[in-house]
Amino acid sequence: MLKAAIFDVDNTLYDYDAAHAPAYRALSAFACEKLSLTQEAFDELHAAASRMLEAHSGGHCAAIHNRLIRYQLMLESLGQPIALAPAMAELYWGTLLRQMRACPGARESLARIKALGLTVGIGTNMTADWQFSKLERLGLLPYIDFMVSSEEAGAEKPDRRLFDLCVKKAGCDAGECAFIGDSLKGDVLGARNAGLRPVWLCQGSKADTAPSGVLCVQSLDTLPELLASL
């Protein structure tokens, strides 16, 4: 019998790609003006700073998502004062939070899943502060019983340490936990390998490629009925 439903956040509970695009545009326009850069030069610097951050942190940890450090590294590489980094980070995140929209059925599905008596958790890569901010902005935080971020777990999905901590917080066996996410490698196979019951939020023909033991949903609207049947 299922006792807990654990959700990824980005591109599962809201469309990250749609919110990231205008945030990146606002950031790049600001940086190009302040630093006299072309768009191409900014894109290259941004990518180089991301690679540098992964190298410094060792990768596979929440630090790789820290945009303040990323922008600090960009400015250092240009020989510019790092004082601009906080404004760049604030602009990016402020724009992303304003642009975010919950996926269709997200609030209603979480409410219905809670009504089934299931514990509702979050299992997410990223730092906890911004994931809390996102869930609060989306109006989803009141439905959440616990969160495990890769910052807290010390590992990124698909590392099973994150999933094991989710199970521990859920207070039941791994097989009594469903894990819902959009990433086949990170969410679905990571959850399956840790003994949880994976549910892949996928679109169209992707469902035909689902690995053995993986359930698929096209949208969050149909999720409560699926979980109730497990």
User: The domain spanning residue 167 has which CATH number?
Assistant: 3.40.50.1000
Asked if residue 154 lies in contact with residue 127, where contact means CB atoms within 8 angstroms, the answer is no
Same domain, 84 and 124: no
Q: Helix, strand or coil for residue 192?
A: helix
Same domain, 85 and 107: no
pLDDT at res. 160: 97
Same domain, 123 and 71: no
Q: Which of 99, 129, 152 is the last residue of a domain?
A: 99
Q: How many domains does the chain have?
A: 2
| Bridge-based pairing state of the strands 177-181 and 4-7 | parallel
Q: What is the pTM of this model?
A: 0.95
Residue 177 Rama label (left phi>0; alpha psi -120 to 50; beta): beta
Same domain, 57 and 130: no
Same domain, 80 and 107: no
Q: Which of 99, 134, 167 is the last residue of a domain?
A: 99
pLDDT at res. 212: 82
Cβ neighbourhood burial of 187 (10 Å; 0-12, 13-18, 19+)? buried
pLDDT at res. 185: 95
pLDDT in tens for each of the 230 residues of the chain? Answer: 999 999 999 999 999 999 999 999 999 999 999 999 999 999 999 999 999 999 999 989 999 999 999 999 999 999 999 999 999 999 999 999 999 999 999 999 999 999 999 999 999 999 999 999 999 999 999 999 999 999 999 999 999 999 999 999 999 999 999 999 999 999 999 999 999 999 999 976 677 788 888 999 999 999 999 999 98
Q: Which of 99, 126, 155 is the last residue of a domain?
A: 99
Same domain, 59 and 149: no
Asked if residue 100 lies in contact with residue 137, where contact means CB atoms within 8 angstroms, the answer is yes
Domain of 129 in residue numbering reads as: 4-15+102-228
Same domain, 186 and 73: no
Same domain, 93 and 147: no
pLDDT at res. 114: 97
Task: Report the candidate in 181, 121, 185, 175 with the shortest Cα–Cα distance to residue 153.
Answer: 121
CA distances in angstroms from 160 to 4, 145, 191, listed in the order given: 17, 21, 8
Same domain, 206 and 148: yes
Same domain, 46 and 65: yes
Same domain, 189 and 141: yes
pLDDT at res. 205: 62
Same domain, 67 and 106: no
Asked if residue 88 lies in contact with residue 30, where contact means CB atoms within 8 angstroms, the answer is yes
